[in-house]
Structure 1
Amino acid sequence: MYRVDPKEAVLSHLDKPGGERASTLSSRAEAFMRAHIQPGLSHKVVSGVAQIVEAGALLILGIGIYAYYLAFTDAGIYLPLILGMVLAANIAFNIARTHRIASYRTQFAQIWRVLAGWSGVFATALVVLFVLKAGESISRVWLVSWFLSGSIMLIVLRTGLRALIMRWSAEGKLKRRTVIVGGGPDAEALIDTISRGASSDIELIGLFDDRDGARSPEQIGGLYKLGRVADLVEFARRARIDLVIVSMPLSAEARVLEMLRQLWVLPVDIRLSAHMSKLRFTDKTYSYVGDLPVFDIADRPISDWNLVFKWVFDRTVALAAIVLLSPVMLATAIAIKATSKGPILFRQQRHGFNNELIDVYKFRSMYTDMSDAKASRLVTRDDPRVTPVGRVIRKTSIDELPQLFNVLKGELSIVGPRPHALQAKAANRLYHEAVDGYFARHKVKPGITGWAQINGWRGETDTVEKLMARVDHDLYYIENWSILFDLYIVVMTPVSLFNSENAY
């Protein structure tokens, strides 16, 4: 896995508004970025849900027949047997590779493998019961009824699943939007391999290459060159790219490293194609895009099931917090309205996930005629712009509580890098100008609280060193994320409020 030290990262000027280098994106690239993008579905989540539904259906069927025919007699024998056989069936289906999107698309192959696995589980169960001399304790009617009805149900489920997968495939929901970095004959061979083996799962958008002329023509294998590598940062964000495949030989180390220094800030998977390498490694070294062997260079943080877990965590915590803290929020709203003129809430544009602009809600803490929507000037100790109520709610972070509604809207997470105002500065330099690699914080959704905040890095950032400390903590959080890590940060957030010497 490739990792860039934020202190050494080199970003393209596309990440820096006002940069001198002009974009060289083609008109085709501009059209892609303007087009409506259909949200995709994670293959792992689809497969996982299919396994849960299938196992649940077999479990309910087995228990249902047992309850109807045997009225829950000998539950201590039957219930563990049913659970064990359902678990064994799921393992057998996975060994037979039937829980893959490619398998779901087949008509008879997956059904044949599933029925073979289901039959194997029953055959194994019969052998075990015979060896343990427990066959007389198990109803043959129940066993045969569950086997036959389960077989029919598996056929029905798999037929319906295939229809659903084929529809989603036709709609492009299961395709990963992919671009290729590189050109020439190597890229052409790569495109051909993907087209033959992964066209149902990969949508090839175009090529990005810094070379020109015969070494990298404008069109290769039916794909057009959309721009240079530095343009890919802007393009990937606006066109919602999922995967970047680098078509460069391992010997081109300098080119690969320079490309990674530009792209590591993006929330995308980056893979280095191994199709042209003369070196051969063990199978465990590679992952595959269809039949294409690749090296994993960088992974999108918090993806697939982890994204589902974080979504559930965010909504659960946000709803609970709104209910529990509603008296505090109501009292704050009354205090703001009673002590100063203007609205109760203050909206401010900030960068969210993948650098998208979002409106963040806060309780108003400044006098309306002195408010600074762009935060071009840092709030300091005894700042005359801050109201008496504002000083209290800023010190205790109560002003951030309305952001719980941003969480419910899907714009923020409970835990993540804090979203900063667009014109926020450290040592009179905009944050993204002061710290190289700053935008790597936006590979995940920003949060109401975060690892940097509970470690004392909240409030004023008047020096580059303070901002760098925040960024370092944010990148550590992104690389080490887990639900338990989020839970720890949530628990420690109230404790960290006692250390609020920099919050004004």
Structure 2
Amino acid sequence: MSKIDLAIHDFPRRAPLMVAAKRSAKIWLCLILIAADLFALLVGFGVGAQVEQPRSIPSDVWTSLIGGMLVYAAVAFQNQAYGPKCLTSGIASTRRALVSLSATMLLFLLVVFSLKVTGTLPRFALSLGIASAVLLIVAQRVLICSLVQRSCGGRLHTELVIVDGGNVPDAYLGGDIIDANMTALRSDLDDPYMLHRLGTIFQHYDRVVISCAPERKNEWAQLLKGANILGEIIVPEIGELAPLSVHQLNGVTTVVVSRGPLNLANRAKKRLLDIILTVPVLIALTPAMLVIALLIKLDSPGPVFFRQERMGRGNRIFHILKFRSMRVESADRQGARSASRDDDRITRVGRFIRKTSIDELPQLINVLFGEMSLVGPRPHALGSTAGDELFWRVDRQYWHRHALKPGITGLAQIRGFRGATEHRRDILNRLEADLEYLHRWSLLRDIGILARTAQVVVHRNAY
């Protein structure tokens, strides 16, 4: 049994049935909402086209309609028209859907004017189609929101309360509650395996609330910031002060200390970029990777790949893949010793692939499996040190960087912060860059980082 297995031993690995059902319900309801919108557009504009030409609708009209539906779906997705709020609030749901439809129609008219085909545009059919589609979209969205509110009470999110020396408010009784003492859970920022255990539990919930003793609030807050989840701490004593970052739910006052940095739409865009780039690159590089694997086998005995535990998104541990560049008998699984310029552990082939960053290529497999992203904070070995101190002891904000998936490259790497961490400043420079990336993420910035990475593949600090 591995250390990871021991970390979550005797704790249910699967979410409770109701939690899993509620999370599945959100996904299915969002898919139903998308299907209902597309059906409303198809019927609405189909009615307009049928009135204009009762006998038969030309194939080019159907092609234009299907294209418009796809554009609407993309615009609505970007406009958060399929977010959880649109499943419980009829006003928010209809407003975002109508804004998306208006944007789609504006794009359609711009195309029509640019092609100079306004004279052939069936104005009556178009007007009737818009009116019919609007009525159907509003009706189905109000109906879906009404049904969701009636069946779920307007609360689709899943939440967990962890009690660590605090009291459980009456509002949370009957929900999912974990007693930290009984289940041996600790807010121990010096124990990566405890953080992994908590991350494994948290991944089944949308919101985690901590009720703890005052002296443990700071540690729980630091832990939650890197957990990629809406994390809150019950602090009843500051309710009367009304600070800006306070959340009220069922009369219970909590301080919001963390929120996943990317919403669903942004996570989807980032993942789509990873897939679009990773799959063709992996296919193209497969012959070269096979050659590298053969050279590694011929150079020294041992496996082709080097697998090592790293901390990923939500403080969950995964195994990173690299081409093996060191001798098996001297490899450092915990990463306590950084590679140096004249490191005697590195093989002849290893020195070349480290210098050219070729040893990182197998991490494309980690990206494909969703454990990593092309761009993000670099994942570090659990035993990595800056000077004589573990990374997370140099600055407790270190854990915040795990709110995003780790990346093959990142802002710190293109700024030249790589190589051995001999001093505290070495890790602080990387941490500052990672936190800047986390707070100012954009898809264009990811593309820019990928473009600039080509300039630092071969770097004086790569050895």
Same fold (TM > 0.5): yes
The code of the aligned residue for 2:403 comes to: K
Q: CA offsets, 1:7-55, max 9 Å, x none?
A: xxxxxxxxxxxxxxxxxxxxxx996x44522667499977765554333
Residues 54 and 157, structure 1, Cα contact 8 Å, conserved in 2? no
Decide which moves more: 369-378 or 389-398.
369-378
SS of residue in 2 equivalent to 1:437: helix
Residues 65 and 146, structure 1, Cα contact 8 Å, conserved in 2? no
Q: CA RMSD in A?
A: 5.1
The structure 2 residue matched to 1:57, chosen from 39, 49, 73, is 39
1:205 equivalent in alignment to 2:177: yes
- Residue 420 of structure 1, CA deviation: 1.7
1:36 equivalent in alignment to 2:17: no
The structure 2 residue matched to 1:239, chosen from 184, 190, 201, is 201
Match of 1:394 in 2: 354
Change (3 A) 1:343 1:156: same
1:503 equivalent in alignment to 2:458: no
Match of 1:320 in 2: 280
**Equivalent-residue separation in structure 2 for 1:385 and 1:255 (angstroms):** 42
The code of the aligned residue for 2:420 comes to: E
Match of 2:306 in 1: 346
| 1:21-420 paired onto structure 2 within 5 Å | 33-37=11-15, 41=23, 49=31, 51-69=33-51, 70=53, 71=57, 100-102=86-88, 138=124, 143=128, 147=132, 151=136, 162=147, 174-179=157-162, 183=166, 188=169, 191-192=170-171, 203-206=175-178, 230=187, 234=195, 236-240=198-202, 242-245=206-209, 260-261=221-222, 263-271=224-232, 277-278=239-240, 289=249, 296-420=256-380
Q: CA offsets, 1:376-412, max 9 Å, x none?
A: 3221113222122211110111101111111111211
**Equivalent-residue separation in structure 1 for 2:307 and 2:150 (angstroms):** 42
The code of the aligned residue for 1:237 comes to: G
The code of the aligned residue for 1:175 comes to: T
1:429 equivalent in alignment to 2:389: yes
**Equivalent-residue separation in structure 1 for 2:335 and 2:24 (angstroms):** 38
Residues 450 and 489, structure 1, Cα contact 8 Å, conserved in 2? yes
The code of the aligned residue for 1:269 comes to: L
- Residue 144 of structure 1, CA deviation: 9.1
The code of the aligned residue for 2:231 comes to: I
Q: CA offsets, 1:268-326, max 9 Å, x none?
A: 32346698834679xx9876646767664421223433222222222222213212333
Q: CA offsets, 1:415-459, max 9 Å, x none?
A: 122122232333243333444333333222211111111111112
- Residue 63 of structure 1, CA deviation: 3.4
- Residue 173 of structure 1, CA deviation: 8.0
- Residue 239 of structure 1, CA deviation: 2.2
Residues 225 and 403, structure 2, Cα contact 8 Å, conserved in 1? no
Specify the structure having the higher radius of gyration (Cα).
1
User: TM-score normalized by structure 1?
Assistant: 0.63
The code of the aligned residue for 2:14 comes to: H
Q: CA offsets, 1:190-245, max 9 Å, x none?
A: x43x67xxx8xxx442477xxxxxxxxxxxxxxx9978984698574342164344
Residues 179 and 244, structure 1, Cα contact 8 Å, conserved in 2? yes
Residues 427 and 463, structure 1, Cα contact 8 Å, conserved in 2? yes
**Equivalent-residue separation in structure 1 for 2:206 and 2:365 (angstroms):** 28
User: TM-score normalized by structure 2?
Assistant: 0.68
The structure 1 residue matched to 2:412, chosen from 427, 436, 452, is 452
Change (3 A) 1:447 1:63: same
Change (3 A) 1:144 1:446: closer
**Equivalent-residue separation in structure 2 for 1:262 and 1:441 (angstroms):** 11
Unaligned runs of 5+ in 2: 1-7, 102-121
Change (3 A) 1:340 1:238: closer
Residues 335 and 389, structure 1, Cα contact 8 Å, conserved in 2? yes
**Equivalent-residue separation in structure 2 for 1:379 and 1:357 (angstroms):** 22
Change (3 A) 1:299 1:45: farther
Change (3 A) 1:226 1:349: closer
**Equivalent-residue separation in structure 2 for 1:337 and 1:345 (angstroms):** 10
The code of the aligned residue for 1:36 comes to: R
SS of residue in 2 equivalent to 1:380: coil
Change (3 A) 1:181 1:310: farther
Aligned length: 404
The code of the aligned residue for 2:421 comes to: T
The code of the aligned residue for 2:41 comes to: L
Change (3 A) 1:396 1:73: closer
Residues 42 and 304, structure 1, Cα contact 8 Å, conserved in 2? no
Change (3 A) 1:271 1:144: same
- Residue 465 of structure 1, CA deviation: 1.7
Change (3 A) 1:182 1:144: same
Change (3 A) 1:312 1:148: closer
Residues 377 and 405, structure 2, Cα contact 8 Å, conserved in 1? yes
SS of residue in 2 equivalent to 1:421: coil
- Residue 164 of structure 1, CA deviation: 13
Unaligned runs of 5+ in 1: 1-28, 104-109, 122-135, 209-223
- Residue 360 of structure 1, CA deviation: 1.4
**Equivalent-residue separation in structure 2 for 1:492 and 1:61 (angstroms):** 48
**Equivalent-residue separation in structure 1 for 2:183 and 2:308 (angstroms):** 34
SS of residue in 2 equivalent to 1:496: coil
Change (3 A) 1:183 1:433: closer
SS of residue in 2 equivalent to 1:393: helix
Higher relative contact order (CA 8 A, sep 6+): 1
| 1:437-448 paired onto structure 2 within 5 Å | 437-448=397-408
SS of residue in 1 equivalent to 2:396: coil
Residues 61 and 150, structure 1, Cα contact 8 Å, conserved in 2? no
Residues 269 and 300, structure 1, Cα contact 8 Å, conserved in 2? yes
